[in-house]
Amino acid sequence: MWESKINVNAVCEIRGRSTVYLGAGAIRKIGDICSVLKKTRQVSRVLVITGKNSYIKSGAWSYVARAFEVNGFDYTMYSEITPNPTVDQVDEATDLARLYGAQAIVAIGGGSPIDAAKCVAVLKEYPVRNARELFENQFSPNKAIPLVAINLTHGTGTEADRFAVVSIPEKETKPVFACDCIYPLYSIDDPALMTSLSPEQTAYVSIDALNHAIEASTTVTATPFSILLAKETIRLVAQYLPVALSNPQDLTARYYLLYASLIAGISFDNGLLHYTHALEHPLSAVRPEISHGLGLAMILPAVIKQIYPASKHILADLLSPILCGLKGESNEADIVYEGLKKWLFEMGVKPGLGSIGFALTDIEKLTNLAFNTPSLKMLLDLGPIEATHASVSNIYMDSF
Protein backbone atom coordinates (compact mmCIF):
# COMPACT_ATOMS: atom_id res chain seq x y z
CA MET A 1 0.00 0.00 0.00
CA TRP A 2 0.95 3.66 -0.30
CA GLU A 3 1.68 3.98 3.42
CA SER A 4 5.29 2.87 2.95
CA LYS A 5 5.87 5.91 0.69
CA ILE A 6 4.98 8.37 3.47
CA ASN A 7 7.79 9.69 5.65
CA VAL A 8 6.46 9.28 9.17
CA ASN A 9 9.18 11.65 10.42
CA ALA A 10 7.82 14.51 8.32
CA VAL A 11 5.29 16.51 10.32
CA CYS A 12 2.19 17.34 8.32
CA GLU A 13 -0.61 19.75 9.12
CA ILE A 14 -4.16 18.39 9.04
CA ARG A 15 -6.73 21.17 9.04
CA GLY A 16 -10.25 20.71 10.29
CA ARG A 17 -12.00 22.58 13.08
CA SER A 18 -8.75 21.87 14.96
CA THR A 19 -5.32 22.25 13.37
CA VAL A 20 -3.49 18.97 14.02
CA TYR A 21 0.25 18.39 13.60
CA LEU A 22 0.84 14.73 12.79
CA GLY A 23 4.18 12.95 12.59
CA ALA A 24 7.16 11.76 14.59
CA GLY A 25 8.68 14.91 16.08
CA ALA A 26 5.42 16.90 15.96
CA ILE A 27 5.95 17.73 19.64
CA ARG A 28 8.52 20.31 18.49
CA LYS A 29 5.60 22.31 17.07
CA ILE A 30 4.67 23.35 20.61
CA GLY A 31 7.24 26.14 20.30
CA ASP A 32 5.53 27.57 17.21
CA ILE A 33 2.12 27.17 18.83
CA CYS A 34 3.18 29.10 21.93
CA SER A 35 4.62 31.83 19.74
CA VAL A 36 1.34 32.17 17.82
CA LEU A 37 -0.72 32.23 21.03
CA LYS A 38 1.53 34.96 22.37
CA LYS A 39 1.35 37.11 19.24
CA THR A 40 -2.27 36.65 18.24
CA ARG A 41 -4.01 36.16 21.60
CA GLN A 42 -1.60 37.86 24.00
CA VAL A 43 -1.27 34.66 26.03
CA SER A 44 1.34 34.68 28.79
CA ARG A 45 -0.24 32.57 31.59
CA VAL A 46 -1.05 28.95 30.93
CA LEU A 47 -2.66 26.13 32.93
CA VAL A 48 -1.24 22.69 32.14
CA ILE A 49 -3.72 19.85 32.72
CA THR A 50 -2.37 16.33 32.81
CA GLY A 51 -2.22 13.02 34.68
CA LYS A 52 0.35 11.90 37.19
CA ASN A 53 3.15 10.47 35.06
CA SER A 54 2.63 10.21 31.32
CA TYR A 55 3.49 13.83 30.56
CA ILE A 56 7.04 13.09 31.76
CA LYS A 57 7.30 9.40 30.83
CA SER A 58 6.26 10.12 27.24
CA GLY A 59 8.99 12.74 26.86
CA ALA A 60 6.47 15.49 26.01
CA TRP A 61 7.07 17.70 29.03
CA SER A 62 10.68 18.68 28.27
CA TYR A 63 9.55 20.18 24.94
CA VAL A 64 6.60 21.98 26.50
CA ALA A 65 8.65 23.43 29.37
CA ARG A 66 11.27 24.64 26.92
CA ALA A 67 8.62 26.27 24.70
CA PHE A 68 7.15 28.06 27.73
CA GLU A 69 10.59 29.32 28.70
CA VAL A 70 11.47 30.54 25.20
CA ASN A 71 8.17 32.41 24.88
CA GLY A 72 8.25 33.85 28.39
CA PHE A 73 5.11 31.99 29.53
CA ASP A 74 4.27 31.59 33.20
CA TYR A 75 2.46 28.37 33.97
CA THR A 76 0.85 26.35 36.72
CA MET A 77 -0.08 22.70 36.60
CA TYR A 78 -2.99 20.47 37.59
CA SER A 79 -1.77 16.87 37.42
CA GLU A 80 -4.54 15.02 39.27
CA ILE A 81 -6.52 13.80 36.27
CA THR A 82 -7.23 10.05 36.47
CA PRO A 83 -8.57 7.64 33.86
CA ASN A 84 -12.34 8.22 33.71
CA PRO A 85 -11.97 11.75 35.15
CA THR A 86 -14.64 13.19 37.44
CA VAL A 87 -16.55 16.45 37.65
CA ASP A 88 -14.75 17.10 40.94
CA GLN A 89 -11.38 16.98 39.18
CA VAL A 90 -12.70 19.39 36.56
CA ASP A 91 -13.92 21.75 39.27
CA GLU A 92 -10.57 21.64 41.08
CA ALA A 93 -8.70 22.41 37.87
CA THR A 94 -11.20 25.17 37.06
CA ASP A 95 -10.67 26.76 40.49
CA LEU A 96 -6.96 26.78 39.78
CA ALA A 97 -7.49 28.27 36.31
CA ARG A 98 -9.63 31.07 37.77
CA LEU A 99 -7.30 31.78 40.69
CA TYR A 100 -4.24 31.81 38.47
CA GLY A 101 -5.85 33.81 35.67
CA ALA A 102 -5.04 31.25 32.99
CA GLN A 103 -5.38 32.64 29.46
CA ALA A 104 -4.96 29.28 27.71
CA ILE A 105 -4.79 25.59 28.57
CA VAL A 106 -2.28 23.00 27.45
CA ALA A 107 -3.57 19.45 27.99
CA ILE A 108 -1.04 16.61 27.93
CA GLY A 109 -2.29 13.04 27.91
CA GLY A 110 -4.91 10.74 26.49
CA GLY A 111 -8.62 11.37 26.37
CA SER A 112 -8.98 11.91 30.11
CA PRO A 113 -6.77 15.02 30.52
CA ILE A 114 -7.86 16.43 27.15
CA ASP A 115 -11.58 16.00 27.88
CA ALA A 116 -11.20 17.47 31.37
CA ALA A 117 -9.25 20.38 29.87
CA LYS A 118 -12.03 21.05 27.35
CA CYS A 119 -14.44 21.49 30.26
CA VAL A 120 -12.06 23.73 32.19
CA ALA A 121 -11.56 25.88 29.08
CA VAL A 122 -15.34 26.46 29.03
CA LEU A 123 -15.84 26.93 32.77
CA LYS A 124 -13.03 29.49 32.93
CA GLU A 125 -15.34 31.69 30.83
CA TYR A 126 -18.37 31.10 33.09
CA PRO A 127 -17.22 32.05 36.60
CA VAL A 128 -20.35 31.00 38.51
CA ARG A 129 -20.84 27.65 36.79
CA ASN A 130 -19.47 24.19 37.68
CA ALA A 131 -18.87 20.87 35.95
CA ARG A 132 -22.04 19.18 37.18
CA GLU A 133 -24.10 22.00 35.68
CA LEU A 134 -22.15 21.64 32.43
CA PHE A 135 -22.81 17.90 32.15
CA GLU A 136 -26.42 18.15 33.23
CA ASN A 137 -27.09 20.73 30.51
CA GLN A 138 -28.09 23.49 32.94
CA PHE A 139 -26.57 26.12 30.66
CA SER A 140 -25.47 26.35 27.03
CA PRO A 141 -21.93 27.67 26.70
CA ASN A 142 -20.63 29.16 23.48
CA LYS A 143 -17.12 30.27 24.43
CA ALA A 144 -13.93 28.86 25.91
CA ILE A 145 -10.33 29.94 26.37
CA PRO A 146 -7.85 28.49 23.82
CA LEU A 147 -6.91 24.84 24.28
CA VAL A 148 -3.82 23.06 22.97
CA ALA A 149 -4.05 19.25 23.10
CA ILE A 150 -0.86 17.19 23.20
CA ASN A 151 -2.25 13.73 22.61
CA LEU A 152 -0.53 10.70 24.13
CA THR A 153 -2.77 7.84 22.95
CA HIS A 154 -4.03 6.64 19.58
CA GLY A 155 -7.68 6.08 20.40
CA THR A 156 -10.05 8.84 21.38
CA GLY A 157 -9.88 11.33 18.53
CA THR A 158 -10.71 14.00 21.10
CA GLU A 159 -7.85 16.13 19.79
CA ALA A 160 -10.04 16.94 16.78
CA ASP A 161 -13.64 16.73 17.95
CA ARG A 162 -16.24 18.69 19.94
CA PHE A 163 -16.91 16.12 22.66
CA ALA A 164 -15.86 15.63 26.27
CA VAL A 165 -16.73 12.79 28.64
CA VAL A 166 -16.51 13.11 32.42
CA SER A 167 -18.02 10.99 35.23
CA ILE A 168 -20.40 12.12 37.97
CA PRO A 169 -19.43 9.63 40.73
CA GLU A 170 -22.40 9.97 43.09
CA LYS A 171 -24.79 9.22 40.22
CA GLU A 172 -22.56 6.54 38.63
CA THR A 173 -23.02 8.29 35.29
CA LYS A 174 -20.57 9.20 32.55
CA PRO A 175 -22.34 11.73 30.32
CA VAL A 176 -21.10 13.37 27.13
CA PHE A 177 -20.82 17.11 26.65
CA ALA A 178 -20.74 18.47 23.09
CA CYS A 179 -20.06 22.04 22.01
CA ASP A 180 -18.48 23.75 19.02
CA CYS A 181 -16.46 25.91 21.41
CA ILE A 182 -14.37 23.00 22.73
CA TYR A 183 -12.49 21.99 19.59
CA PRO A 184 -8.81 22.31 20.51
CA LEU A 185 -7.28 25.25 18.69
CA TYR A 186 -4.12 23.20 18.04
CA SER A 187 -3.35 19.54 18.60
CA ILE A 188 -0.17 17.52 18.44
CA ASP A 189 -0.28 13.89 17.30
CA ASP A 190 3.28 12.59 17.67
CA PRO A 191 3.58 8.78 17.41
CA ALA A 192 7.06 8.88 18.95
CA LEU A 193 5.38 9.85 22.25
CA MET A 194 3.31 6.65 22.20
CA THR A 195 5.88 3.87 21.94
CA SER A 196 5.80 3.31 25.72
CA LEU A 197 2.09 2.42 25.77
CA SER A 198 1.66 -1.08 27.21
CA PRO A 199 0.24 -3.86 25.01
CA GLU A 200 -3.06 -3.57 26.89
CA GLN A 201 -3.25 0.21 26.41
CA THR A 202 -2.26 -0.19 22.77
CA ALA A 203 -5.09 -2.64 22.14
CA TYR A 204 -7.72 -0.79 24.18
CA VAL A 205 -7.17 2.63 22.63
CA SER A 206 -7.13 1.17 19.12
CA ILE A 207 -10.37 -0.68 19.87
CA ASP A 208 -11.83 2.69 20.92
CA ALA A 209 -10.95 4.09 17.49
CA LEU A 210 -12.37 0.98 15.81
CA ASN A 211 -15.65 1.47 17.64
CA HIS A 212 -15.83 5.14 16.71
CA ALA A 213 -15.58 4.03 13.08
CA ILE A 214 -18.11 1.21 13.31
CA GLU A 215 -20.65 3.43 15.06
CA ALA A 216 -20.11 6.60 13.00
CA SER A 217 -20.73 4.61 9.83
CA THR A 218 -23.95 2.98 11.02
CA THR A 219 -25.86 5.72 12.85
CA VAL A 220 -28.99 7.15 11.32
CA THR A 221 -26.90 10.32 10.89
CA ALA A 222 -23.98 8.63 9.06
CA THR A 223 -22.76 10.50 6.01
CA PRO A 224 -20.61 9.51 3.02
CA PHE A 225 -17.80 11.41 4.74
CA SER A 226 -18.15 9.59 8.10
CA ILE A 227 -18.29 6.25 6.23
CA LEU A 228 -15.23 7.09 4.13
CA LEU A 229 -13.15 7.91 7.20
CA ALA A 230 -14.53 4.90 9.07
CA LYS A 231 -13.56 2.51 6.27
CA GLU A 232 -9.97 3.73 6.29
CA THR A 233 -9.84 3.61 10.10
CA ILE A 234 -10.83 -0.05 10.18
CA ARG A 235 -8.37 -0.95 7.43
CA LEU A 236 -5.51 0.74 9.27
CA VAL A 237 -6.36 -0.70 12.70
CA ALA A 238 -6.65 -4.23 11.23
CA GLN A 239 -3.29 -3.83 9.51
CA TYR A 240 -1.22 -2.02 12.12
CA LEU A 241 -2.56 -3.05 15.55
CA PRO A 242 -0.98 -6.53 15.33
CA VAL A 243 2.30 -4.88 14.27
CA ALA A 244 2.30 -2.46 17.22
CA LEU A 245 1.45 -5.29 19.62
CA SER A 246 4.37 -7.40 18.42
CA ASN A 247 6.78 -4.43 18.20
CA PRO A 248 5.72 -1.45 20.36
CA GLN A 249 8.59 0.64 18.98
CA ASP A 250 7.42 0.35 15.35
CA LEU A 251 6.95 4.00 14.48
CA THR A 252 5.15 3.32 11.22
CA ALA A 253 2.53 1.21 13.04
CA ARG A 254 2.11 3.88 15.73
CA TYR A 255 1.82 6.59 13.07
CA TYR A 256 -0.98 4.84 11.21
CA LEU A 257 -2.83 3.84 14.38
CA LEU A 258 -2.65 7.47 15.44
CA TYR A 259 -3.80 8.68 12.05
CA ALA A 260 -6.62 6.11 12.22
CA SER A 261 -7.76 7.38 15.62
CA LEU A 262 -7.62 10.98 14.39
CA ILE A 263 -9.78 10.33 11.34
CA ALA A 264 -12.12 8.14 13.41
CA GLY A 265 -12.57 11.14 15.70
CA ILE A 266 -13.47 13.29 12.72
CA SER A 267 -15.71 10.49 11.45
CA PHE A 268 -17.81 10.44 14.62
CA ASP A 269 -17.70 14.22 14.91
CA ASN A 270 -19.73 14.00 11.68
CA GLY A 271 -21.64 10.72 11.94
CA LEU A 272 -21.98 10.59 15.77
CA LEU A 273 -22.09 7.38 17.83
CA HIS A 274 -24.68 4.92 19.08
CA TYR A 275 -24.99 1.68 21.06
CA THR A 276 -21.47 0.59 21.89
CA HIS A 277 -20.58 3.91 23.51
CA ALA A 278 -24.01 4.30 25.11
CA LEU A 279 -23.64 0.86 26.69
CA GLU A 280 -19.96 1.21 27.60
CA HIS A 281 -20.26 4.43 29.57
CA PRO A 282 -22.34 2.74 32.31
CA LEU A 283 -19.63 0.06 32.63
CA SER A 284 -16.76 2.48 33.30
CA ALA A 285 -19.00 4.82 35.30
CA VAL A 286 -19.88 2.00 37.72
CA ARG A 287 -16.34 0.60 37.69
CA PRO A 288 -13.95 3.51 36.97
CA GLU A 289 -10.95 1.15 36.97
CA ILE A 290 -12.14 -0.25 33.61
CA SER A 291 -10.61 1.46 30.61
CA HIS A 292 -13.03 2.79 28.03
CA GLY A 293 -11.57 0.65 25.24
CA LEU A 294 -11.76 -2.56 27.26
CA GLY A 295 -15.41 -1.88 28.08
CA LEU A 296 -16.12 -1.28 24.40
CA ALA A 297 -14.38 -4.51 23.44
CA MET A 298 -16.62 -6.46 25.81
CA ILE A 299 -19.85 -5.37 24.17
CA LEU A 300 -18.84 -4.76 20.54
CA PRO A 301 -19.58 -8.30 19.23
CA ALA A 302 -23.07 -8.34 20.78
CA VAL A 303 -23.83 -4.86 19.42
CA ILE A 304 -22.79 -5.90 15.92
CA LYS A 305 -24.90 -9.06 16.18
CA GLN A 306 -27.97 -6.93 16.88
CA ILE A 307 -27.39 -4.22 14.27
CA TYR A 308 -25.90 -6.33 11.47
CA PRO A 309 -29.19 -7.07 9.68
CA ALA A 310 -29.99 -3.33 9.57
CA SER A 311 -26.47 -2.26 8.53
CA LYS A 312 -25.27 -5.35 6.70
CA HIS A 313 -24.08 -3.69 3.49
CA ILE A 314 -21.93 -1.09 5.22
CA LEU A 315 -20.59 -3.51 7.84
CA ALA A 316 -19.77 -6.26 5.34
CA ASP A 317 -17.73 -3.74 3.39
CA LEU A 318 -16.06 -1.95 6.30
CA LEU A 319 -15.27 -5.07 8.35
CA SER A 320 -13.69 -6.92 5.42
CA PRO A 321 -10.10 -6.24 6.60
CA ILE A 322 -10.97 -8.10 9.84
CA LEU A 323 -13.50 -10.65 8.56
CA CYS A 324 -13.13 -11.57 4.93
CA GLY A 325 -15.84 -13.16 2.82
CA LEU A 326 -18.84 -11.28 4.17
CA LYS A 327 -21.54 -10.82 1.54
CA GLY A 328 -23.82 -8.38 3.38
CA GLU A 329 -26.55 -10.90 4.18
CA SER A 330 -28.64 -10.80 7.36
CA ASN A 331 -27.84 -14.39 8.30
CA GLU A 332 -24.16 -13.45 8.70
CA ALA A 333 -24.83 -11.78 12.09
CA ASP A 334 -23.69 -14.80 14.11
CA ILE A 335 -20.60 -15.25 11.93
CA VAL A 336 -19.64 -11.62 12.55
CA TYR A 337 -20.33 -11.98 16.29
CA GLU A 338 -18.03 -15.00 16.58
CA GLY A 339 -15.45 -13.55 14.20
CA LEU A 340 -15.12 -10.30 16.13
CA LYS A 341 -14.78 -12.16 19.43
CA LYS A 342 -11.97 -14.23 17.90
CA TRP A 343 -10.21 -11.13 16.50
CA LEU A 344 -10.48 -9.31 19.84
CA PHE A 345 -9.05 -12.35 21.62
CA GLU A 346 -6.14 -12.35 19.17
CA MET A 347 -5.57 -8.68 20.07
CA GLY A 348 -5.27 -9.69 23.74
CA VAL A 349 -8.80 -9.05 25.02
CA LYS A 350 -10.28 -11.68 27.33
CA PRO A 351 -13.98 -11.94 26.49
CA GLY A 352 -16.93 -11.57 28.81
CA LEU A 353 -18.29 -8.93 31.17
CA GLY A 354 -17.72 -11.45 33.96
CA SER A 355 -13.97 -11.14 33.39
CA ILE A 356 -14.10 -7.44 34.32
CA GLY A 357 -16.14 -7.89 37.47
CA PHE A 358 -19.77 -7.71 36.40
CA ALA A 359 -22.54 -10.20 37.23
CA LEU A 360 -25.80 -10.98 35.46
CA THR A 361 -27.59 -9.20 38.32
CA ASP A 362 -25.97 -5.92 37.16
CA ILE A 363 -27.79 -5.94 33.81
CA GLU A 364 -30.88 -4.12 35.05
CA LYS A 365 -28.82 -1.32 36.60
CA LEU A 366 -26.58 -0.97 33.54
CA THR A 367 -29.59 -0.87 31.23
CA ASN A 368 -31.24 1.85 33.32
CA LEU A 369 -28.03 3.89 33.29
CA ALA A 370 -27.82 3.63 29.49
CA PHE A 371 -31.30 5.13 29.21
CA ASN A 372 -31.13 7.61 32.08
CA THR A 373 -27.62 9.08 31.88
CA PRO A 374 -27.82 12.57 30.35
CA SER A 375 -26.86 12.31 26.63
CA LEU A 376 -26.68 8.50 26.37
CA LYS A 377 -30.35 8.09 25.43
CA MET A 378 -29.64 10.44 22.53
CA LEU A 379 -26.90 8.06 21.36
CA LEU A 380 -29.25 5.09 21.61
CA ASP A 381 -31.73 6.96 19.43
CA LEU A 382 -29.05 7.26 16.73
CA GLY A 383 -28.62 3.49 16.36
CA PRO A 384 -29.71 1.72 13.18
CA ILE A 385 -32.39 -0.23 15.07
CA GLU A 386 -34.77 0.97 17.73
CA ALA A 387 -33.33 0.78 21.24
CA THR A 388 -35.66 -0.78 23.77
CA HIS A 389 -35.10 -1.87 27.33
CA ALA A 390 -35.17 -5.47 26.07
CA SER A 391 -32.70 -4.95 23.21
CA VAL A 392 -30.18 -3.16 25.43
CA SER A 393 -30.51 -5.84 28.14
CA ASN A 394 -29.95 -8.48 25.48
CA ILE A 395 -26.71 -6.85 24.37
CA TYR A 396 -25.42 -6.87 27.94
CA MET A 397 -26.59 -10.47 28.36
CA ASP A 398 -24.89 -11.54 25.12
CA SER A 399 -21.68 -9.91 26.36
CA PHE A 400 -21.23 -12.31 29.30
Region from 65-73, 207-215, 244-252, 320-328 binding Fe ion, contact rule CB under 5 A? 207-215
Alpha-helical regions (H) of the chain: 29-41, 54-57, 60-70, 87-100, 111-123, 131-135, 199-216, 224-246, 251-271, 275-286, 292-318, 333-346, 363-372, 376-381, 389-398
> 174 or 341: whose CB is closer to Fe ion?
174
> 46 or 203: whose CB is closer to Fe ion?
203
> How many C-alpha atoms does 111 have within 13 Å on its Cβ side?
28
Q: Does 190 bind Fe ion (CB under 5 A)?
A: no
Residue 212 Cβ, how far from Fe ion at the closest point, in Å?
Answer: 6
Beta bridge partners of 55: none
> Taking a C-beta distance cutoff of 8 angstroms, is the pair 309, 330 a contact?
yes
**Cβ neighbours of residue 399 under 8 Å, at least 6 residues apart?**
298, 299, 301, 302, 352, 353
In the 8-state DSSP scheme, what is residue 351? Answer: P
Residue nearest to Fe ion (CB): 208
Q: To 10 degrees, the CA torsion angle through 227, 220, 168, 130?
A: 90
Region from 1-9, 69-77, 202-210, 346-354 binding Fe ion, contact rule CB under 5 A? 202-210
Residues 43-82 that bind Fe ion (CB under 5 A): none
Q: Does 159 bind Fe ion (CB under 5 A)?
A: no
Residue 296 Cβ, how far from Fe ion at the closest point, in Å?
Answer: 7
Residue 58 Cβ, how far from Fe ion at the closest point, in Å?
Answer: 21
Residue 374 Cβ, how far from Fe ion at the closest point, in Å?
Answer: 17
Residue 53 Cβ, how far from Fe ion at the closest point, in Å?
Answer: 22
Q: To 10 degrees, the CA torsion angle through 115, 231, 224, 379?
A: -40
CA distance 189 to 256: 11
> 48 or 266: whose CB is closer to Fe ion?
266
The closest alpha carbon to 232, from 269, 268, 272, 259, belongs to: 259
Using CB under 5 A as the binding criterion, the count of chain residues that bind Fe ion stands at 1
Region from 43-51, 132-140, 204-212, 246-254 binding Fe ion, contact rule CB under 5 A? 204-212
Q: Does 208 bind Fe ion (CB under 5 A)?
A: yes
> Taking a C-beta distance cutoff of 8 angstroms, is the pair 93, 120 a contact?
yes
Residue 218 Cβ, how far from Fe ion at the closest point, in Å?
Answer: 15
Residue 11 Cβ, how far from Fe ion at the closest point, in Å?
Answer: 26
Region from 13-21, 22-30, 206-214, 363-371 binding Fe ion, contact rule CB under 5 A? 206-214
Region from 53-61, 123-131, 203-211, 380-388 binding Fe ion, contact rule CB under 5 A? 203-211
Chain residues in the site for Fe ion (CB under 5 A): 208
